[in-house]
Amino acid sequence: MDREGLFATTELPTGVTIKSPRELEFMRQAGRVVGQTVSTLIKLIQPGMRTRELDDAARQEIQRLGAKPAFLGYRGFPATICTSLNEEIVHGIPGERVIRQGDLVKLDVGAIVGRFYADSAVTVAVGEVSLDGQHLLEATRTALELGIRAAREGARVGDIGAAVQAFAEGQGYGVVREYVGHGIGRALHEDPQVPNYGPAGRGLLLRRGMAIAIEPMLNRGTWRTRQLEDGWTVVTADGALSAHFEHTIVIMEGESEVLTRRSEEGN
């Protein structure tokens, strides 16, 4: 392939883009930065920390690795990462809140390399958490893996949501509707939207070279949510626990490639 072709994005009539080989290399680099940063934060987190300490550590690590934070300043977001505790689902703003023994802490991290983005989230159990909390965490992690397995060339976007929903609701959890996965690449959020619910066999056809972020959010109670007065933090409507996991992937022939996989997760 010529040099121009290496950098050329193919845009489909739907507005969804197929990434070029060179673009995917930038996204792989961004994915490695995100994965390493998440690993660093998981090792650092402990009772008594303030969430801003995690934010400071994330910013230092992303910059040390030669990347830029993806979230800082995005639509006015004031921090490098999102830190959401317990009943908070997503978009929590790091600050003076102290992390306690037994908390479920959601860490959402994004990075930019060469103008290309990667995005990932994990839920961390701080010390010993309740049995309910541990089950929710493991179920959400499994739901993500099932969604990734469903994301194959020739499948439909609806197949991802159907896989997540069938498993999650089978475990008795609510699947958040208002916030969904998304395309990713030259922007943090691109088409298509990737819901964690809905019928199989529907939606956009997945093609090789598409990059998407799959991110199930499961609640211990209702799937309904509300936003706090800070304009960012989203919590469960009933105050129940929530968990969130996310990976950036690329559709390939056969199994999809996970760009944000951490070394401790294996392949």
Domain ranges of the chain: 25-261
pLDDT at 264 over 90: no
pLDDT at 4 over 50: no
Residue 259 to residue 33: CA distance in whole angstroms:
10
**Which tens digits make up the pLDDT trace of 169-198?**
999 999 999 999 999 999 999 999 999 999
pLDDT band at 74 (very low <50, low <70, confident <90, very high): very high
In three-state secondary structure terms, 104 is: strand
Rounded Cα distance, 15 and 54, in Å: 36
The pTM of this model reads 0.94
Asked if CATH classification 3.60.150.10 holds for the domain at 25-261, the reply, yes or no, is no
**From CA 149, how far away is CA 127, in angstroms rounded?**
30
pLDDT in tens, 112-146: 999 999 999 999 999 999 999 999 999 999 999 99
Secondary structure of 50-71 in the HEC alphabet? Answer: EHHHHHHHHHHHHHHCCCEECC
pLDDT digits (tens, 9 = 90+) for 9-65: 666 656 799 999 999 999 999 999 999 999 999 999 999 999 999 999 999 999 999
